[in-house]
């Protein structure tokens, strides 16, 4: 009936990708989602400088662990510090210097001016932790800021009014939404130490 060579470009009857054998069974998850959700996930991944796959994997890990990605990142940092990661220790020292310089120039300013300063300094702060993770740097910005303002010896903020002013400044700044989520979850009147990693 047919003469000559036949080339099959696409076989519509072959198994779907999810049915194909994997080198490591169960290593791939195929999920069909609405196009709007896919676009939102891609945008979130780009915001965190991650591939869509890496971003989705973090989301799944967070759901399975029953803990936040922030908690997972902090646990990972503590583990690295305990293992003697000197470069990470230097990053925290540099963060402390960053906040010292910031507050030497800004601590007497009103909330709006501090908010403007935080917004302009976010990219500079992120560079301190650039060898680790940009998203992690965003999470550490408010944590290291409030840690700098906390006096471990006294068990309270050196200036509660400045700490409150800084929380409000973060909320009104144009820093990343990731940072605002963490600062918004800070109790307004808390005198507990914010610095588990300080």
Q: Does residue 71 have a pLDDT over 70?
A: no
Distance from C-alpha of 66 to C-alpha of 63, rounded to nearest angstrom = 5
- Each residue's pLDDT tens digit, 132-149: 777 778 778 888 998 999
Stretch among 22-31, 113-122, 165-174 having the lowest mean pLDDT: 22-31
Which one, of 119, 193, 115, 121, lies nearest residue 157 by Cα? 193
Stretch among 4-13, 51-60, 126-135, 157-166 having the lowest mean pLDDT: 4-13
Distance from C-alpha of 73 to C-alpha of 51, rounded to nearest angstrom = 18
Q: What is the mean pLDDT of the chain?
A: 77
- Each residue's pLDDT tens digit, 13-24: 565 554 455 455
| Ramachandran category for residue 100: left, alpha or beta (phi over 0 → left; psi -120 to 50 → alpha) | alpha
Q: Is 64 exposed, middle or buried (0-12, 13-18, 19+ CB in 10 A)?
A: exposed
Distance from C-alpha of 40 to C-alpha of 178, rounded to nearest angstrom = 15
Which pLDDT band holds residue 98 (cuts at 50, 70, 90)? very high
Distance from C-alpha of 67 to C-alpha of 35, rounded to nearest angstrom = 28
Q: Does residue 97 have a pLDDT over 90?
A: yes
Q: Where are the alpha helices (DSSP H) in 26-159?
A: 35-47, 52-65, 69-82, 86-106, 111-128, 134-148
Which pLDDT band holds residue 193 (cuts at 50, 70, 90)? very low
Neighbouring CB atoms inside 10 A of 79's CB total: 10
């Amino acid at each position: 009936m047919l003469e000559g060579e036949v080339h099959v470009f696409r076989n519509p009857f072959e198994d779907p990708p999810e049915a194909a054998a994997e080198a490591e069974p169960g290593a791939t998850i195929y999920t069909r989602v609405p196009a709007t959700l896919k676009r939102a996930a891609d945008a979130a991944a780009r915001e965190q400088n991650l591939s869509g796959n890496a971003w989705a994997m973090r989301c799944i890990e967070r759901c399975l662990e029953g803990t936040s990605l922030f908690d997972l990142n902090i646990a990972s940092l503590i583990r690295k510090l305990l293992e003697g990661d000197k470069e990470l220790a230097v990053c925290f020292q540099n963060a402390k210097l960053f906040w010292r310089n910031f507050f030497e120039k800004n601590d007497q300013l009103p909330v709006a001016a501090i908010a403007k300063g935080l917004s302009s300094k976010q990219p500079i702060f992120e560079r301190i932790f650039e060898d680790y993770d940009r998203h992690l740097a965003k999470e550490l910005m408010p944590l290291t800021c409030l840690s700098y303002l906390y006096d471990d010896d006294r068990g309270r903020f050196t200036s509660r009014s400045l700490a409150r002013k800084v929380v409000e400044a973060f909320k009104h700044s144009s820093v990343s939404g990731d940072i605002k989520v963490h600062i918004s979850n800070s109790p307004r009147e808390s005198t507990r130490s914010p610095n588990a990693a300080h």
